[in-house]
Amino acid sequence: MKSIAFIGATSQIAKDLIRALAPDSLYSLSLFSRRPEELREWRDRELISGDIVSRPYGQFIDGNFDVIINCVGSGDPARTAGMAGSILDVTYQFDSLALDYIRQHPRCRYIFLSSGAAYGSIFRAPATFETNAEFRINSLAADEFYSIAKMHAECRHRAMLDADIIDIRIFNYCSATTDINSKFLTSYILRSIHRSEVLQVSAASMHRDFITPADFAELVRCALNAPVCNRAIDVYSRAPVEKFELLSHLSNLFDFRYEIVPSLNLVVSTGEKPMYYSNNRSAADLGYEPRYSSIEGVALETEAALKSLKNI
């Protein structure tokens, strides 16, 4: 049995992973957060079975773990925008917590949830293995600090040549458990369907690659079972999707309406990204093969979210 420590266990993506991994008898899970009692209540309310304990960060350094998964992040574009430069300190603080541990326990694997934003804030084309990170070093904007925080963490990891570290760059995550009031495109769509409202969208085209919790959990399982390595991998679905292709598909499925507003102001926390996804398929080296395309995944998670909202 592998002992896994979750840092930032109250985050939505952490909770989705916990749901996926907890029933598996191969893993025991230690959930670290500032609010351990809240996690215990969530675990009991969700009827999540398995070997799970919820602990405060003060107990982390004395633990005995095979794997650390760092899920610390802002979790919402609006919150990311509000944090500005403080995201650098938060990322460094919890990354250092994990790195200090693996220095003392070199057989422990560290899985760091990074972001596609580590490539920079401008995606004129999809990322590839050869893509360079791009930042306006002489005129940094507030929407670039999140990207720099992730890139800086990855640089620290690559510098630890003998450490067992896998950085997983997440581009777009779509889950039925996402807060309906968050500022993601899929949340705007969900709110509009649920409230029978017309969604206002900009005229700009954009391409996104949405990963579902099921496919993401499968990728993490691949990372858990990979040989010792020090590398970064990009997350991808079976195929990305263009914004209006997605809107048209969902409007047919859910009787959903949208209208184009030429000058629409939306929260853009990490810069405009017309083609925010990756063609870097190196995760396949670990045995990863996604089940869903973006359009399939968003439809499935939207349907599940709507069913959940009807039961509230």
User: In one letter, which amino acid is 93?
Assistant: Q
End-to-end C-alpha distance for the chain, whole angstroms: 37
In a domain, 162, yes or no: yes
- Characterize 193-222 residue by residue with b for buried, 16 or more Cβ atoms within 10 angstroms of its Cβ, and e for exposed: bbeeeebebeeeebbbbbbbbbbbbbbbbb
In a domain, 260, yes or no: no
CATH number of residue 112's parent domain = 3.40.50.720
Q: Tell me if residue 230 falls in helix, strand or coil.
A: strand
What string of pLDDT tens digits covers the 312 residues of the chain? 899 999 999 999 999 999 999 988 889 999 999 999 999 999 999 888 888 999 999 999 999 999 999 999 755 555 555 556 789 999 999 999 999 999 999 999 999 999 999 999 778 999 999 999 988 888 888 778 899 999 999 999 999 999 999 999 999 999 999 988 888 899 999 999 999 999 999 998 999 999 999 999 999 999 999 999 999 999 999 999 999 999 999 999 998 899 998 876 554 444 568 999 999 999 999 999 999 999 999 999 999 999 988 875
In a domain, 257, yes or no: no
Answer whether 197's CB lies under 8 Å from 4's CB. Answer: no
Answer whether 132's CB lies under 8 Å from 192's CB. Answer: no
Q: How many domains does the chain have?
A: 1
**Domain containing 125: what range?**
66-175+209-239+272-293
